[in-house]
Chain A
Amino acid sequence: MIAAKISQFYNFLHNAPPKQKIFFGLGLGVALEVAFLNFHDSMVFWFVAYGFVTSVLLFLVLTNIFKKSLSSFFFVLPALAIFSIFYIYPFFKVLQLSHHAWDGISPKMLFVGLGNFREILQDRIWWVSMRNAGYITLVALTLQNVLALSLALACDRQIRAKNFFRVIFFIPPVLSEVVVGLIWRWIYDGDYGLLNHTLGLIGAQDLARSWLSDPKTALTCVAIIHSWKGFGWGFMILLAGLQTIPRELYEAARVDGANVWQTFRNVTIPLMIPVFVLVMILTILGSMQVFVLILSMTGGGPGYHTEVPVTRILASMQGSSMFGYACAQGISFGLILMMVSFVQMGISRKLKQA
């Protein structure tokens, strides 16, 4: 009976309009935060948190016993166990740690309230890293997507070699970021790198430099490699989108006397807008989170010229052992990313309705 009530409540939430969902989410967040600031004394808080979660789980299991369908719950149990290990504990832990100053080893943590978040606002390097990530995203949005679109358009006409190119263009995304970063690190190398060698061969020694340790070029080099590694994705999705456009539309446009540009402008673009939006948002989400490539190419250097938010989180965690601060950084960065994906969901839902 209670189970039915609860499921009714969830159905109500599930069907609630987005505005109410947002209000509910914000309210839940604020309630958790307030509960947190009042009960940060860990024993009480953990007792309540774990008590709540266990009682909910027990309740689910017990109602199942009464319904004699325990076995169907066992099907979900392994997944649920892994899920609760890796989401419930980290969720509360990240809330707890972000209000504390802690070095990761000592048994005592110092409660600092919102001090960590205040520190983020004043952290110059954090905002530099944000700007760097924005720059990489911008390069990816323009260079990578233009390249992907032009390749997809070129491949869309070529019927014969299409599969060949599709296989080749997807090789960089399949490789790991570590391998890609290490190969290109060596190609960019100042003394023995292939790039400088080639520049010397074609008589442009003046351009040669140590690309990755020069503050002027390091970030752009990393961004270009990121685009090189990522354009295969965009290419694949755009090509799949282009293939769904009926050929008759192109023929009709040609019969009406449209040239190539007009066909592209009036037939291809309007039909491809949903795919463009998808690719752009995937690019934004992927590029904001890039970091393994940076770790393997520059390690954030020279200075802080190629730092991105995720490398900063790792640095404040592994480098300077400020675990609470790293958690606060993680929360604020995660919130930004989640906002981007909510915008994506909203846009794609609107596009589907249209």
Chain B
Amino acid sequence: MRLNKYIFAQHASGTLINVFLIAVAATCVFPLLWMFGSSLKTQSTIFSDMSIIPSSMHWENFYLAWTKGGFGMYFLNSLFYTTIVVFGIVIVSSLAAYAFSRMNFPGKNLLFFMFLAAMMIPLPGSFVPLYVLVNNVRNVLLNVLSAATPFLLKVLPDHIVYSANSFIESQFYPRTAYILSMINVGLSFSIFMLKTFFDRMPKELEDAARIDGCSRLGIWRHVALPLAKPAIAVIIIYNALNVWNEYILANLILSSKNLMPLQRGLMVFQGEHITQYPLLMAGMTITVVPILIIYLAMQRFIIKGITAGAVVG
């Protein structure tokens, strides 16, 4: 009798725990499913049809969001920024981390300490100076361009000079500014993580390469980077998610619509077409799907990066 009671209690508590876990898991997944379902409804059914699976599927919402809603442009922009920023972070941070780990130069400890201290500075404090910096550099750039234009006009045909000027002013400069500031955001963490990885890596392979006559840059490229693949994978995925989800710097730096990444585009769309819910939901689905795919495929690396980031920060 007592044994039965014990087994019963164990079963009951097991079931309760399972119900609890599944309930919380449902709240995590449900909003996404509902968002996807809503993106397939029309403007009129979205307020009456509350089911997750709509009675009639309107896949054209995605087409409309991609073309008329501008989410195609935002998506390509996000893809562009994410690729370049992640590439830049990997190159810059692995070079610096390799130097911090393997080489000796005066000021090394001070510099590394500076990078560590930079992680402690909260971003909100630097909104204003960042905005001022970007604006001031733009003014300097415009002055330089307008000073250089008369000379360039003598050498090159008119339309090339003017289109190059407007390209630099409206496309190249804001994009570069955003990319550099995003590289800066991810740099400290990446340097720290790669340095700890390099510190634990055995030096013998590099010594062998040096004896074989490999230059320092060659050792970095052909020995250190391939060996650091696991750490670099973590850095790539962590930073890619970060850049893809970033909103506030895009808000500060990018003002014209054809430069905006997805998160900024979503807020702009929400402000302009507050009533077009199905298109907004379709745009959100477009934003979320790549993230979910990357997350589900690479979740092991992401979790590693997050625990490392938590321990560092």
Is A24 an interface residue, CB under 8 A from the partner?
Answer: no
Which residues does chain B contribute within 8 Å of A228, judged by CB atoms?
Answer: 27
**Is A166 touching B303 in the complex (CB atoms < 8 A)?**
yes
CB proximity of B244 to chain A, nearest CB, Å: 7
CB proximity of A263 to chain B, nearest CB, Å: 14
Least CB separation from A150: chain B residue: B20
CB proximity of B2 to chain A, nearest CB, Å: 15
Is B130 an interface residue, CB under 8 A from the partner?
Answer: yes
Of the candidates A6, A177, A282, A323, the one whose C-beta lies within 8 Å of that of B313 is A282
Least CB separation from B125: chain A residue: A334
Least CB separation from B91: chain A residue: A78
For the complex, give the distance between the alpha carbons of A186 and B279 in Å: 13
Of the candidates B96, B110, B126, B292, the one whose C-beta lies within 8 Å of that of A90 is B126
**Is A236 touching B32 in the complex (CB atoms < 8 A)?**
no
Which residues does chain B contribute within 8 Å of A71, judged by CB atoms?
Answer: 216-217
Is A120 an interface residue, CB under 8 A from the partner?
Answer: no
| A residues 1-32 touching B (CB-CB < 8 Å) | 3-4, 6-7, 10-11, 14
Greatest chain A CB density within 10 A among B20, B31, B109, B288 is at: B31
Which residues does chain A contribute within 8 Å of B267, judged by CB atoms?
Answer: 178, 295-296
How many B residues have CB within 8 A of the partner chain? 86
For the complex, give the distance between the alpha carbons of A334 and B123 in Å: 8
Main secondary structure of the interface of B (DSSP, over half): helix
Of the candidates A89, A168, A194, A310, the one whose C-beta lies within 8 Å of that of B28 is A168
Of the candidates B91, B132, B241, the one whose C-beta lies within 8 Å of that of A323 is B132
Interface-side segment among A35-43, A215-223, A249-257, A324-332: A324-332
- Starting from the known contacts A228-B27, A295-B267, A341-B120, 11 additional A-B residue pairs (CB-CB under 8 Å) come to A72-B99, A83-B115, A83-B118, A147-B24, A169-B28, A174-B291, A178-B263, A179-B288, A237-B310, A330-B125, A330-B126
A-B pairs, 6 with minimum CB distance: A334-B125, A90-B129, A75-B99, A176-B245, A79-B96, A72-B103
Interface residue ranges, A against B (CB under 8 Å): 3-4, 6-7, 10-11, 14, 60, 63-64, 67, 69, 71-73, 75-76, 78-80, 82-83, 85-87, 89-91, 93-94, 97, 104, 147, 150-151, 154-155, 157-158, 161, 165-180, 182-184, 186-187, 191-192, 194, 197, 228, 232-233, 236-237, 240, 278, 282, 285, 289, 291-292, 295-296, 309-310, 313-314, 317, 323, 326-327, 330-331, 333-334, 337-338, 341
